[in-house]
Amino acid sequence: MIFSVSLMAVFAAVTLVNNSFWPLVVNEHLGVPDALIPLFPMLTSGLSIVLFFTLIPRLTKAANLKRPTLWGFILYLAGQILLMVIPAAASAGGQALDSGTVVGWYVYALLGATLLLDSFGAGMLFMLTESIVSLHVHLPERSRIMAILRAFVMLVAAPTGWITGVLFDWNRIAAFGVSVTLLAIGLLITSISWFAPHVTTAEIEV
């Protein structure tokens, strides 16, 4: 249970960071105009839906969930690192905006790649962390334990928002060092501390 809850807590904390600070980094660091910011969540949702019904089921239906979990962390981690290394708008070549910032076409291309990696990795981890926790919970106590676990995960993930906010005030892009660190920890935990579930998918369905 400690193993499975750790993975769920890592994913919840990274999700909190992205939901809170991704639009701010894209706007204030990369110089994407305010009018375009609402399009990115829509694109992310669309990509997640497409991947959820196409590639993700093929990768997550294996009997051993360790490999797809590793791939989920790797893809999500790659997307977060790519976001951090995208050059700031002020130093990019491209069309000048009214605000004085400059956004190059390749900034949008790299943002598109970031969205694809994030949608793929987050979609896999959302499905897998829920499944792993369910597979490790004792069947007769599942509903009560799951409720306690979700409350615990929220308590653990909550300080991440404050820490990221402090880093964001210091350096816009450094805020995502938190999510990169958390995903690296999740990848390490999955690599060296994997526990095979004692409950099968068939037993859960029954």
pLDDT tens sequence across 54-83? 888 887 776 678 888 999 999 999 999 999
At 75 the pLDDT is 94
At 98 the pLDDT is 45
Strand partners, 102: 96
At 70 the pLDDT is 92
pLDDT lower than 50: segments of the chain = 91-100, 200-206
101-to-15, 27, 83, 97, 98 alpha-carbon distances in Å: 29, 10, 18, 6, 8
DSSP state letter for 172? T
At 100 the pLDDT is 45
* Domain 2-205 CATH class label: mainly alpha
Chain centroid to Cα 203, Å, comes to 29
| 88: helix, strand or coil | coil
At 169 the pLDDT is 83
Among 74, 43, 66, 71, residue whose Cα is nearest residue 56: 71
Q: How far apart are CA 71 and CA 120, in angstroms?
A: 10
Whole-structure pTM value? 0.82
Sorted by sequence, the CB contacts under 8 Å of residue 152 that are 6+ apart come out as 5, 9
Q: How far apart are CA 127 and CA 183, in angstroms?
A: 16
Count of CB atoms situated within 10 Å of the CB of 22: 22
Containing H/E element for 74? helix 66-85
Please give the sequence-ordered ranges of beta strands (E in DSSP) within the chain, or none if there are none: 95-96, 102-103
Q: How far apart are CA 201 and CA 204, in angstroms?
A: 5
Strand partners, 95: 103
